[in-house]
Amino acid sequence: MKKGTIILAIALGLVVIAFMWGMGQYNNLVKADEAVGKQWANVESQYQRRSDLIPNLVNTVKGYAAHEEGTLTAVVEARAKATQTTIDPSNLTAESLAEYQAAQSQVSSALSRLLVTVEQYPDLKANQNFLELQAQLEGTENRISVERQRFNESAQGFNTQIRQFPRNIIAGMFDFEKKAYFEAQEGAEQAPVVQF
């Protein structure tokens, strides 16, 4: 009887230890997954900040460059499309992230065309409101870059955790999926040609 009780106690102890280990591993994966979601929210927050600045910038430019309606319309349309493209942080696939990046890229491209157009209007370039908006927009672009980098670091940490043994067993049991990364856009590896 005593031998059977000891074996049962040892087996029960091993089950408890295995359960506690599995619970700890699962909780670590949940923390890493939440960190990726939080960092994604930071990325979206900076894109939203840029999106909020655009109407003010467009309205400021309108007063000086009314006949640049096509450029202004392109900015507004790109902003509208970008705000409609959203991603659920729990489903950050490469495809959904590429779609999101494409929409945001259109906004960046439209803003670049707008700022090039502004060069033709010396009064606008000297306007204090415009200068402040332009500085805020530049700062926001830098913040977006930083948050995207932090997101990639967070996603990398999570992806590393779900691939490491023995954590990969827990990740597989509970369907923890690999997170996608922000990647450079096509053609970004080539430096732009500057001509004067």
Q: Mind listing the pLDDT tens digit for each residue in 127-164? A: 777 888 888 888 888 999 999 999 999 999 999 999 99
Best CA proximity match to 60, nearest among 126, 109, 139, 124: 124
Please, which residues have CB within 8 angstroms of residue 104's CB and are 6 or more apart in sequence? Answer: 47, 82, 85
Report the Cα–Cα distance between both ends of the chain, in Å, rounded.
94
Q: Are the C-beta atoms of 40 and 92 separated by less than 8 Å? A: yes
**What is the domain count for the chain?**
1
Look at 116-125, 145-154, 176-185 and tell me which has the smallest mean pLDDT.
Answer: 116-125
Domain contains 147 = yes
Domain contains 16 = no
Domain contains 31 = no
Higher pLDDT, 188 or 96: 96
- Name the pLDDT band for 64 (thresholds 50, 70, 90): confident
Look at 6-20, 22-36, 45-59, 177-191 and tell me which has the smallest mean pLDDT.
Answer: 177-191
CA angle 151, 156, 158 (to 5 degrees): 95
Torsion angle of C-alpha atoms 133, 119, 138, 101, degrees rounded to 10: 110
Domain contains 18 = no
Look at 4-8, 32-36, 39-43, 94-98 and tell me which has the smallest mean pLDDT.
Answer: 94-98
Identify the pLDDT of residue 192: 47
pTM listed for this prediction:
0.76
Domain contains 93 = yes
Give the number of other CB atoms < 10 A from CB of residue 99. Answer: 14
* Domain span including residue 165: 51-173
Domain contains 33 = no
